[in-house]
Amino acid sequence: MASKLLLITFVICRLLSTVGFTMDPLARVTGQLSSDPDDLEAASRDFGGMTRAKPLAVLHPASAEEVASVVRAGSAQGFTVSARGHGHSINGQAQVGRNGVVIDMSGPKGRRFREEFTKPVLGEVVNRGGDSRNRSRSRSYYVDVWGGELWIDVLKWSLDEHGLAPKSWTDYLYLSVGGTLSNAGISGQAFHHGPQTSNVYELDVVTGKGELMTCSEEKNSELFHGVLGGLGQFGIITRARIALEPAPQRVKWVRVLYSNFSAFTKDQEYLISLHGGGSSERFDYVEGFIIVDEGLINNWRSSFFSPRNPVNLTLIGARGVLYCLEVTKNYDESTADTVDQVVETLLKKLDFIPSSVFTTDVTYLDFLDRVHKAELKLRAKNLWHVPHPWLNLFVPKSQISKFNDGVFKVMLAGNKTSGPILIYPMNRNKWDQRSSVVTPDEDVFYLVALLRSATEEGPHTLDNLRDQNRRILHFCEESGIKVKRYLPDHSTQDEWKGHFGEKWEAFKQMKMKFDPSHILAVGQRIFQPSFTSHGIFDL
């Protein structure tokens, strides 16, 4: 009997060896692999704070090859893999559960930014057209950065070292390069430069088969466009070549208020229509937000207004729901004498409440990093690590008024809010439709972002805010408002098919080509891993 058992054990081991499996599924992984409880706990959470899934292990990679090694092992050994940047996802998109490995893209423990494997590299774009004099006048630059690098560090390096900066931003800079490029990356510059996905020259990507591939519009273009906005489904971005431009020194930052929604949207749409004009003919940033209670305007990004002179809406005759337009004009020493005149000329063409103009002047870095100041205040009050049931929608221009009437004026009006509500338009022709990002099929569409924080009691509990999000989505469906979810969160593949629409079949084919075992980014819940029928978040 013992001899038979020994023979069976020997056969099983030989079989496992033959088909490429080991008794330890992580044996083939190279790099700093951790099962430290603190690492596992950190990787099990995200900014949303609504889901938790502890992984099998966490990799702290020191190179793209180490990222590739864990992906190859996952494909061969049957475990899932997810890249995690700054952990700012909302609904567990970067989580894998107990049968997977999270790659912490911030890099090896103990290493600092600018060490060799993450050190940015500046380059110049080759312009083959025109004469040498014209080329020298229109030089453009790029920076190669590690996919896990934070945008704030990219900004500080390019600004301090070269007086340059990326063209397109997110409102919050403590996000990873690979993370935002896997979604889109938007803020008030998108009307002019497009999202961050439209400002990339080249990528290095580890596919779901563990292949490290360089891709661009000219080389492996299918992968290049698929990964941009691809929600991590086809590969992990380990290097990105980002377009740069000369950085301004300072920013004129202006806010004006509206009580009329039509005037507000008309002015926003007019301002983004100026995207093709010269620098003196347009603003550099256009955003807006909704004010459903007076406290919000003095608390959100409170560094804008002086605490000694808060905005009193009653003094300017404002009632009910208000709409705030936020614009900026960049300048430096050469344009300092004319910037005020440019701002005044542009403002004269707008139809805001005349007594509601508020202006400040800040450095370019301070403006781009404005949200971090609010973060520090919330952290000091232990209010940062709370659930964030955010809802981000792209709303077609033709239906934004209907959305305002049903959501802002009915569902939200008269209620205190627990976070900012952004609303601003973008030009669809600034978005590369070859990418995986899905937008409404209209020339202009709006971002509506309800960025709320949940409280333990009162009207803003997690359950109440989640229920309100569901009611908003139901209202859109019943009213025929064809929204698209930004930073999407869907539970079934049928819902994902509806989200991607006509892009779905190509998306599915790319998944089969670049990640045939479906091991990447399982937290998105788009595809089930081919080697298991169990739920990915079973703990």
Which are the catalytic amino acids? 88, 171, 287
Map residue 238 onto helix, strand or coil.
strand
Longest dimension (CA), the chain: 95
Burial class (CB in 10 A: 0-12, 13-18, 19+), 351: middle
Strands 235-246 and 164-166: antiparallel
Which structure tokens are listed for 474?
């139901």
Element (H, E) at 121: strand 121-124
Contact criterion met (CB below 8 Å) for 102 and 93 = no
Contact criterion met (CB below 8 Å) for 363 and 249 = yes
Contact criterion met (CB below 8 Å) for 121 and 141 = no
Q: What residues are paired with 423 via a beta bridge?
A: 448
d(CA 165, CA 156): 8
Map residue 362 onto helix, strand or coil.
strand
3-state secondary structure 409-471: HHHCCCCCCCCCEEEEEEEHHHCCCCCCCCCCCCCEEEEEEECCCCECCCCCEHHHHHHHHHH
d(CA 346, CA 323): 19
d(CA 251, CA 271): 17
Contact criterion met (CB below 8 Å) for 385 and 477 = no
| Of the candidates 145, 156, 62, 172, the residue with the CA atom closest to the CA atom of residue 108 | 62
Which structure tokens are listed for 366?
């301070």
d(CA 530, CA 533): 8
Q: ∠ CA 379-384-385 to the nearest 5 degrees? A: 120
Residue given tokens 């406290």 in the structure block = 295
Non-local (6+) Cβ contacts of 131 within 8 A are none
Contact criterion met (CB below 8 Å) for 74 and 519 = yes
Exposure string of 72-99, with b = 16+ CB inside 10 Å and e = fewer, is bbbbbbbbbbbbbbbbbbbbbbbbbbbb
CA 145 to chain centre: 17
Cβ count near 499 (within 10 Å): 17
